[in-house]
Amino acid sequence: MTRLRLRILFGDAMLGPGKAELLERIRETGSIAAAGRQMDMSYKRAWMLVEEMNDAFQAPLVASTRGGPGGGGASLTEAGAEVLRLYHGIVATAQQATADDIGALEAMLRAPGAGDMSGQK
């Protein structure tokens, strides 16, 4: 299945499908650790990505509370929800705008296994 994966580079900062998915999973789970686990990502890596995003934008995208007897947690801020909404809108617009050209490229692809008589890939 053909997919369009879009990364937006803002100088040193970047927002792409991985960070967007992390934000979505934080929103769903209420936890940076749980979101990272769902993505087969270490807790440290998930925290690092959250810190990168929080540092890149004027307002933090994720708010977290420290663990303790009741446990910690995390949630998207208003800014986080808006960044996620805008990112998904940009991706949807790009998919719509490029659908015909992507279809033309797909039509030009060699069929799987075509032209390879050796059986090797």
Q: Give CA 50 to chain center in angstroms.
A: 12
Measured distance CA(39)–CA(24) in Å, rounded: 11
Whole-number average pLDDT of the chain: 91
pLDDT at position 109 is 94
Domains in the chain (CATH in brackets) are 14-98 (1.10.10.10)
Tokens representing 53? 């995003």
pLDDT at position 121 is 52
Weakly modelled stretches of the chain, pLDDT under 70: 67-71, 115-121
pLDDT at position 117 is 58
pLDDT at position 113 is 74
Sequence-ordered list of residues with C-beta below 8 angstroms from that of 114, at least 6 positions apart, any chain: none
pLDDT at position 65 is 84
pTM: 0.85
